[in-house]
Structure 1
Amino acid sequence: MSLANRRRKHKLKAEINVVPYIDVMLVLLIIFMVTAPLMNLGVDIELPQSAAKSIHNDKEPAVVSVDQGGKLYLTLANAPREEIDAATLQKKIAAFVRQNPQIPVYVAGDTAADYGTIYEAMVLLQQAGVPKVGLMSKPPEAAKAR
């Protein structure tokens, strides 16, 4: 009977010892905390030039141009290029896209233009309801010679 009493007093425990798992987790946490800021460092890159074929479309696109001074110009399908302010650009493009939803809209920015101004033009087009905005570019000089 004494053997049976001992077994009743010392029941087996079905528990998992999680202390080693916590230690491993904390070590991994420290490693990720140390390496995460290092992954945000910028890298100087030189973007490749593209000799991609141009997109052919049957319809004349609407083109919003940004010159190096930050002035906006609008060229619609069969209209001449006109200087325009931001509010008028938004209204005209919204009306034009409502009438012609399949017309492509491109932004042509001068190389010396401020990127922020080009970005603002794209935001204006998005607010006007343009579903897709493309960026215009010229092919590299080496590609023209071929």
Structure 2
Amino acid sequence: MKGMGMMPQQRRKPMSEINVVPYIDVMLVLLVIFMVTAPMLTQGVKVDLPETTSDPIQQDKDVESITVSVDSNGAYYLEVGDDASEPMALDEVRNQVAKILSQRSNGEVLVRGDEYVDYGVVVRLMAELQAAGATGIGLITDAPNDNQ
């Protein structure tokens, strides 16, 4: 019995490593969740854009883009950032864009016109956007398909 009390106790060395396996598991679960939900977040108006080769438009990351879409029926839709509106009249688009541009230093507006809409509808829209105070108007297109 005497020898038991005299045994030096072994001290456990503190573990200086972190087990990262649970963090990797959580990260992979979050990755799957974001991959599944990301396609659901894109909203907008179905528009068949004309296809052409062009350089991408450089945009300010801090400023939400203003996009006016024209569908094949000639209806106008105002999109600010990720928020899309219901169809509206041309003068209503001009008033809304004028209100938004009065609060911004950047007067750029993007136009997304359906390939099958009448050219005059897009030109009238661009004239109204200039009247609303847009200093720059960009046209959004799709890249051409090589299968044609």
TM-score bucket (shorter structure): 0.5 to 0.7
- What is the percent sequence identity of the aligned residues? 28
1:117 aligns with: 121
Query: For the residues of structure 2 that align with 1:78 and 1:65, how far apart are their CA atoms?
Result: 13
Q: Map 1:14-33 to 2 at 5 A.
A: none
Q: Deviations over 1:58-98 (max 9, x none)?
A: 13311111111111111012422321111111111001011
Aligned pairs, number: 95
Q: Deviations over 1:28-72 (max 9, x none)?
A: xxxxxxxxxxxxxxxxxxxx941x341232133111111111111
Query: For the residues of structure 1 that align with 2:57 and 2:138, how far apart are their CA atoms?
Result: 11
- Residues 106 and 97 from structure 1, CA distance in 2 versus in 1: closer, same or farther, beyond 3 angstroms? same
State the TM-score, normalizing by the size of structure 1: 0.59
- Residues 49 and 92 from structure 1, CA distance in 2 versus in 1: closer, same or farther, beyond 3 angstroms? closer
Residue 137 in 1 paired to residue 141 in 2? yes
Which of 65, 72, 79 is residue 69 of structure 2 equivalent to? Answer: 65
Q: Is the 8 A contact 2:107 2:134 kept in 1?
A: no
RMSD (Å), alpha carbons: 2.1
1:55 aligns with: 57
2:106 aligns with: 102
Q: Is the 8 A contact 1:65 1:108 kept in 2?
A: yes
The one-letter code sitting in structure 2 at the alignment partner of 1:54 is P
- Where structure 2 has 5 or more consecutive residues not aligned to the other structure, the ranges are 1-50
Shift of 1:142: 2.7
Q: Is the 8 A contact 1:62 1:103 kept in 2?
A: no
Larger radius of gyration: 1
Superposed structure 1 runs of 4+ greater than 4 Å apart = none
Query: For the residues of structure 2 that align with 1:68 and 1:123, how far apart are their CA atoms?
Result: 19
Greater helix content: 1
Between 1 and 2, higher relative CO (CA 8 Å, sep ≥ 6) is seen in 2
Q: Is the 8 A contact 1:75 1:82 kept in 2?
A: no
Q: Is the 8 A contact 2:107 2:136 kept in 1?
A: no
The one-letter code sitting in structure 2 at the alignment partner of 1:98 is S
1:23 aligns with: none
